[in-house]
Amino acid sequence: MSDPRLTIGYSPCPNDTHIFCALSHGLIATPGWQPSPPVLEDVETLNLWALQGRLDITKLSFNALGHVLDEYLLLRSGAALGRGCGPLLVAGRGIDPDQLDRISVAVPGKYTTAALLLRMYAPHCVNPVIMRFEEIMPAIVSGRVDAGVIIHESRFTYQRHNLSLVQDLGAWWEEVSGLPIPLGGIAVRRSLGQDLVGAIEAAVRESVLYARSHPHDCMAYVRAHAQEMEEDVVCSHIGLYVTGFSEDLGAEGIAAVEFFLEKGREVGALPWSRHSLFSRKS
Residues known to be catalytic: 152
What's the rounded Cα separation, in Å, for the pair 269 and 186? 21
In this structure, the number of other CB atoms found within 10 A of the CB of residue 176 comes to 11
Find, among 252, 255, 281, 265, the residue nearest to 75 by Cα: 281
Give the helix, strand, coil percentages of the chain, each rounded to 5. Answer: 45, 15, 35
Contact of 49 with 58, CB cutoff 8 Å: yes
What's the rounded Cα separation, in Å, for the pair 193 and 188? 10
Residue type, 105: V
In this structure, the number of other CB atoms found within 10 A of the CB of residue 49 comes to 18
